[in-house]
Amino acid sequence: MSGEHEYPVVAEGLRKTFRHTRRSGLPDKLAVDGVSFNVRKGEIFGLLGPNGAGKTTTIKMLSTLLIPDEGSVRILGMDGIKDVKNVRQRINLVSGGERGLYYRLTGRQNLRFFANLYDIAKVGQEALIDKLLDIVGLTEAADIKVEDYSRGMKQRMHIARALVNDPEILYLDEPTIGLDPEIARDVRSLIRKLAGSGKTILLTTHYMFEAEELCDRIMIISKGRSVGYGTVAELKKMVPDTNIIEVVTNDDPHDTVAKLSSEHFIQHVNTERIAGRHCTRIQLKDRTDLLSYLDTVFSKYGIRKIGYDEPTLEDIYISLVGGEGQEDGGHHR
Amino acid sequence: MNVKAITAAFRQQGTQFLADPQWIIPSIIAPFMFTVVALYMYSGAGELDSPIVLTAVLGGGVLGMWGNMLFSSGFTITYDRYNGTMEPIMLTPTHLIDVIAGRSVWNVFIGMINAVLVFISAQLIFGVGVSVADPLLFFPMLLMTLFSLASIGLMLAALFVLTRASYVITTILEFPIYVFSGALFPITALPEALRPISYIFAPTWGVDALKTAAISGYNTPMASFGIWFDVLMMFLLIAVYIIASYFLFMRIERNIRESGTLARY
Amino acid sequence: MTFVSDRMRVIKASCVLSVHDTFTVIRPAVWVFLMVVPSLFSMFFFYMIAGYATGDPDYQDFVVIGNAVQAIGMTTIYSVASIPGDQKHIGTMGSIYMSPSGLFSIFLGMSLFSILAGFISVAVSLVFAAFVFGVSMASMNVISVAVVILLTAISVGGISMIIGSVGLYLRTSAILANVFTYLGLILCGVNFPVTDLPGWAQKIAHCHPLTHAVEATRGAVGGSTVTDLADPILMMILLGIIFAVGSVLTFRFFEKLSRKKGRLDVF
């Protein structure tokens, strides 16, 4: 039982509907609709999807916080729904956000409290806390009240809290949401370090680059269902190279882009301004040769460069999920 | 029962309290004011020398402990919900009931400050000193009463988890104890039909036991069974409260895991 | 007149918001229940003590009416005094502040709801006094009772707004609100005559509108006309004006102080 499971996390046919009270007047919400996947030992697995796709609900079902309506969860060979006490000893979860710590206590006092809830022996508890503070780089802030922590310090404290029971499986729900770019980078390198130390990590994110950078395997979910599942390379095979055309122009091709986006042969098109140029990425629905057509259409904006491009994870995401929810993907480096 | 978790919760609540102790005021102000007003009323009626006043002072002390317990238990869950710490607690193998138990013990312990405050004001404003006839009996009774309050606190905290409007329950429950516990006037003054309500509150028996131990010759229909009957009743009621709390908390944990309303505030 | 009408709109919107705020957390029926239960219990509680201490039914009536008026404590004093503190706690102070409407108009609008609630709670409590505690209402002067309750709600609202203003600055305004609410029980002749208090406390009591409110209500229930009650009524009006002006001034003062020290969103 010492964690020698090839797949420490196995989810099968998870389904969850949230029933609202009659008074709220809201319809019931089917949050997760039959999701199955497994996570390999020691890998970083990503659940990717737009807001409201069911990522958090899924992670809660895998971490004993929520009982699925249907389906099963096996954690390290144990029943993840019934064998709660034993499962909880060996997993932990970090939720993004400002909340989740006792802000009138110091970081050390927070960790001490949770260490005791995990029944960590008093002998060695302080040493463990020092070690955790060191891992997340909060040694100097250990005896400051959490209310005086910055947003990034709080997030690192969340991670320290989640490491208190030395979990074999660590869930991270949007671990970098709302963080400054540099701090988010620190958190990502911390996540990689943890995976390197042998922990199995499952994270949710809606940042494409984050998933691409961190995850060994990914599941993309949309509206509670899986729409893509595999390594980044496997996912990229789902969209052929010849389907992506990139055009770099001097002037803003705004009008043409608007026109193109309603064409039946276009899956998705967007423009962004990079270093004074306008870079338009066009995803075609089928493998049709439209290079010369687009060359003509864009010529009036002064083409600097036009050609096929390799699909990024973002392209795949767009073709699988549709246009929704990608508005802030990819630009938060 | 997870002693380590209970101790940790006790300490957490304590540290948190000491970081910002003025928050005790809202929870003790009502019982304190009520007791002072009652003493004014008794003194206005020329009863200042009678044992009624001394019993009222003792009763006021118990009310103070109750007030603190009620508000702290009510707020403890709200605080975790608001603070987002409910989820991390639920994630641990520790049962919620152990965490709340530890906090309830701290809350009642702090409530003693309020009792002392009532005793001091009685001395300063009305010159009524608290003398204890049988200290050897009084202090164990005090501890037991405190424990009974903590066990009610535990049960109430469970009810608070189930509702968003813990403020509602707090408000509704604050006053019945004033009226029914016999703290500031004997329950024999209550209409007969209402008296059974008094008997199901452990503090009623605690108040009676404290008065019996503190005042020689104190006699009420309840005390005529003897102080040991008070003790027996407290034991029974404490057991009932704790068992009820256990089942409530089990249900709560199940509810939370099914509905996912845990994190919502 | 747009200045006035704009202001009125803000006041009205804030009032409506606080109605919605109240009723999303609890249902209206529960809210009424909540308003009434503590007042009913405290009436019963002090009624019992009055009976046990003296056995005098007149004294019991005295106590019941006093507590009926004190019912305004939770509904008006406490809720008005804690408005700014609550807003800071929820974290909406910043966005409210950013809006061009004066903060004070918003505060006033939110307070109006509580003042109205106070009026209702006293009225309901007086009904209890008659039907549950058997206080004779035979000689009651309905007009003076109505005038007195209305003035009570307004003047008490004014002093509560002063307390609330402090909440713009202090993080502990809830504590202040609480202490102030219950202080009325001792100071204002609710359960025993003000003359039982030490001299210095009596002086403070006369500056509290509730003291005059309790006195006037007892008179009105006993049949006094508005002219009979000229003294306490004029005192309430006078105090009401002083506190209304005072609340604007203290509000401005603490608003400025908080802006200077960046405490509008500190709690």
Answer yes or no: are the C-beta atoms of A294 and A306 closer than 8 Å.
Answer: yes
Q: Residue A148, Cβ neighbours under 10 Å: how many? A: 10
Distance CA B113, CA B146 (A): 12
Give residue A130's pLDDT. Answer: 95
Point out the residue among C44, C179, C192 whose CB comes nearest to the CB of B29.
Answer: C179
Strand partners, A73: A11
Between C35 and A52, the higher pLDDT residue: A52
Give residue C101's pLDDT. Answer: 59
Point out the residue among B7, B19, B260 whose CB comes nearest to the CB of A104.
Answer: B19
**What is the mean predicted confidence (pLDDT) over A85-102?**
88
Torsion on CA atoms B190, B195, B199, B201, rounded to nearest 10: -60
Least confident of A72-81, A319-328, B65-74, B230-239: A319-328
Give residue C22's pLDDT. Answer: 60
Predicted confidence (pLDDT) per residue in A149-198, tens digit: 988 899 999 999 999 999 999 999 999 888 888 888 988 999 999 999 99
DSSP three-state, residue A164? coil
DSSP three-state, residue A94? strand
Instruction: Give the confidence band of A330 by pLDDT, cuts at 50, 70, 90.
Output: very low
Answer yes or no: are the C-beta atoms of A204 and A173 closer than 8 Å.
Answer: yes
Tokens 């702290």 correspond to B72
Q: Is A19 on the interface with B (CB under 8 A)?
A: yes
Question: Does the beta-carbon distance from A105 to B16 stay under 8 Å?
Answer: yes
Res. B245: pLDDT tops 70:
yes
Pairing of strands A70-75, A9-18: antiparallel
DSSP three-state, residue A238? coil
* B12 contacts in chain A (CB < 8 Å): 102, 105, 109, 113
Distance CA B253, CA A18 (A): 17
Answer yes or no: are the C-beta atoms of B111 and B149 closer than 8 Å.
Answer: yes
Least confident of A103-107, A139-143, B109-113, C214-218: B109-113
Q: Is A67 on the interface with B (CB under 8 A)?
A: yes
Q: What percent of chain B has pLDDT over 70?
A: 91
Give residue B164's pLDDT. Answer: 60
Question: Whole domain around residue B158: which residue ranges?
Answer: 3-263
State how far the alpha carbon of A16 is from the alpha carbons of A13, A57, A331, B250, in Å.
10, 8, 32, 22
Res. A93: pLDDT tops 90:
yes
Predicted confidence (pLDDT) per residue in B141-167, tens digit: 888 888 888 888 888 888 777 666 666
* C42 contacts in chain B (CB < 8 Å): 34, 175
C194 to chain B: closest CA residue: B40
Pairing of strands A44-48, A200-205: parallel
Q: What distance separates the 2 farthest-apart alpha carbons in chain B? A: 60
Nearest to A19 by CA among A10, A11, A28: A28
Point out the residue among A18, A99, A105 whose CB comes nearest to the CB of B260.
Answer: A18
Those residues with Cβ within 8 angstroms of residue A40's Cβ, 6 or more apart along the chain or in another chain:
A6, A7, A8, A200, A216, A217
**What is the mean predicted confidence (pLDDT) over A259-279?**
83
Give residue C102's pLDDT. Answer: 66
A91 to chain B: closest CA residue: B91
* B22 contacts in chain A (CB < 8 Å): none
Task: List the structure tokens of C37.
Answer: 């239960």
Distance CA A105, CA A147 (A): 8
Domain boundaries, chain C: 2-261
User: How far is C4 from chain B, CA to nearest CA, in Å?
Assistant: 37
The total number of structural domains that make up chain B = 1
Distance CA C234, CA C236 (A): 5
Give residue A74's pLDDT. Answer: 95
**What is the mean predicted confidence (pLDDT) over B85-110?**
87
Query: CB-side exposure of A49: number of CA atoms within 13 Å?
Result: 26
Give residue A38's pLDDT. Answer: 93
Q: What is the ipTM of this complex?
A: 0.80
Chains that touch B (3 or more CB pairs under 8 A): A, C
Per-residue pLDDT of chain C (267 residues; tens, 9 = 90+): 566 676 677 667 766 666 666 655 556 666 667 777 778 888 888 999 999 888 889 999 999 999 999 888 777 888 888 777 776 665 565 565 555 556 777 778 778 888 888 888 888 888 888 888 888 888 888 899 999 999 988 888 888 888 888 877 776 777 888 888 888 889 999 999 999 888 999 999 999 999 999 999 999 999 888 889 989 999 999 998 999 889 888 888 888 887 777 665 554
Distance CA C56, CA A35 (A): 74
C176 to chain B: closest CA residue: B26
Nearest to A99 by CA among B89, C175, B11: B89
State how far the alpha carbon of B222 is from the alpha carbons of A222, B174, B198, in Å.
67, 23, 11
Question: The domain A241-310: what is its CATH number?
Answer: 3.30.70.260
| Cα-only R_g, chain A | 23
Instruction: Give the confidence band of A27 by pLDDT, cuts at 50, 70, 90.
Output: confident
Predicted confidence (pLDDT) per residue in A240-263, tens digit: 766 888 889 988 888 888 888 888
Answer yes or no: are the C-beta atoms of A168 and A91 closer than 8 Å.
Answer: yes
Beta-sheet strand order (sheet of A91-95)? A91-95, A169-173, A200-205, A44-48, A217-222, A225-231
DSSP string, B38-81: HHHHHHHTT-TTSHHHHHHHHHHHHHHHHHHHHHHHHHHHHHHH
Question: Does the beta-carbon distance from A100 to B90 stay under 8 Å?
Answer: no
Those residues with Cβ within 8 angstroms of residue C83's Cβ, 6 or more apart along the chain or in another chain:
C18, C107, C110, C111, C114, C164, C167
Q: What's the predicted TM-score (pTM) here?
A: 0.77
Q: Is A155 on the interface with B (CB under 8 A)?
A: no
What is the identity of the amino acid at A248? V
CA C228 and chain centroid, separation: 24
- Give the dihedral sign, CA A96/A97/A98/A99: negative
Question: Does the beta-carbon distance from B94 to A109 stay under 8 Å?
Answer: no
Superfamily of chain region A9-236: P-loop containing nucleotide triphosphate hydrolases (3.40.50.300)
**What is the mean predicted confidence (pLDDT) over A211-232?**
91
Distance CA A177, CA A205 (A): 8
Task: List the structure tokens of C32.
Answer: 């009424």
User: How far is B148 from chain C, CA to nearest CA, in Å?
Assistant: 23
- Give the dihedral sign, CA A177/A182/A183/A189: positive
* A16 contacts in chain B (CB < 8 Å): 260
* B78 contacts in chain A (CB < 8 Å): none
Domain boundaries, chain A: 9-236, 241-310
Residues on chain C bordering chain B, Cβ-to-Cβ distance under 8 angstroms: 25-26, 30, 34, 37-38, 41-42, 44-46, 48-54, 63, 74, 172, 174-175, 178-179, 182-183, 185-186, 190-193, 196
Strand partners, A308: A245
Torsion on CA atoms A242, A243, A244, A247, rounded to nearest 10: 80
Question: Does the beta-carbon distance from B175 to C42 stay under 8 Å?
Answer: yes
